[in-house]
A and B are shown apart, each in its own frame.
Chain A
Amino acid sequence: MNALRTRLLMIAALGGAAALFCGCSTPAAVRVRPWERAALADDTMNPDRDPLASMMIEHVYFSREAANGGKGVGGSGCGCN
């Protein structure tokens, strides 16, 4: 009786886990389908929509952190350029 109960519990647990993990692994759950990209295509989702602000941020990274950023920013790392 105990063995049967254990077996049933094991089956139920595995089935439940499979159903849960299936939700994580199928493309439907983890991928945004091509027709669902309206919000992603919005201009506000563009991290570089303000070139001047991006340049200033790059300048700060370049000047103050030296090892980070600095794409297209000329000058030295003294922070005075």
Chain B
Amino acid sequence: MVSAQSQFSGILRGAAAAALAALACALPAQVAPGSPFPALSATGPNGGPLPETAGKVVLVDFWASWCAPCKASFPVYSKLNAAYADRGLVIVAVSVDESPSAYAAFVARLKPPFATLHDSRQALVREVQVPTMPTSYLVDRGGKVRFVHPGFHGEQTERELRREIEVLLGEKAPSP
């Protein structure tokens, strides 16, 4: 005969096990302003040539060929690249397409003047945990995320990005 107390104790232990299991299942946290941005090399060896980003202001955009706002965002990023690349802005557009041909066709069609990477294994995007597609991250010269833009909202996003890029370009790189 098992006493009620020992049964209760068993339930408590079960609850503790449940809590541990829940923790084990938990996703990595979303990358948010203030946290360091993960290394772009997480896209893997087939991701493409990594641009030089040390000491630069970096705009990392996650896109996919099947995402209509992503397509609309590329001309805006081209304008931003033309306006700020000389002053130290690097734009990196990371594709989360699973199909290499879809990625290649999109890049061939739009011919972006900035760097594109292919996160075909979706390792980087899983690490970053983007909240929606597309999402762009403005990273300061010290490698810290300063602004996050979930979605692309045309002129409004462009206006915000320009203001934020100006702020970040005006900051000095932290001494090593």
- A binding-site residues for B, Cβ under 8 Å: 2-3, 6-7, 10-11, 13-15, 17-19, 21-23, 25-29, 33-38, 41-42
| Number of inter-chain CB pairs below 8 Å | 87
Q: Is B6 part of the binding interface, using a Cβ–Cβ cutoff of 8 Å? A: yes
- Distance of A36 Cα from B126 Cα, bound (Å): 10
B98 to chain A: which residues have CB within 8 Å? Answer: 38
Q: Is B15 part of the binding interface, using a Cβ–Cβ cutoff of 8 Å? A: yes
A10 touches B7 (CB 8 A): yes
Given contacts A25-B22, A34-B133, 5 further A-B pairs with CB under 8 A are: A3-B3, A6-B2, A7-B2, A7-B10, A11-B17
- Distance of A26 Cα from B19 Cα, bound (Å): 12
A37 touches B133 (CB 8 A): yes
Interface residues of B in 1-33 (CB under 8 A from A): 1-3, 6-7, 9-11, 13-15, 17-19, 21-22, 24-27
B15 touches A35 (CB 8 A): no
In the complex where A34-B131, A34-B132, A41-B67 touch, is A14 in contact with B10 (Cβ < 8 A)? yes
Q: In the complex, what's the smallest C-beta–C-beta distance from A12 to chain B, in angstroms? A: 9
A33 to chain B: which residues have CB within 8 Å? Answer: 126
A18 touches B66 (CB 8 A): no
B10 touches A22 (CB 8 A): no
- Which of B2, B17, B66, B96 has a CB less than 8 Å from the CB of A14? B17
A34 touches B14 (CB 8 A): no
A18 to chain B: which residues have CB within 8 Å? Answer: 14-15, 17-19, 21-22
Which single residue of chain A is at the shortest CB-CB distance from B133? A34
Q: In the complex, what's the smallest C-beta–C-beta distance from A62 to chain B, in angstroms? A: 32
B27 touches A27 (CB 8 A): yes
B18 touches A22 (CB 8 A): yes
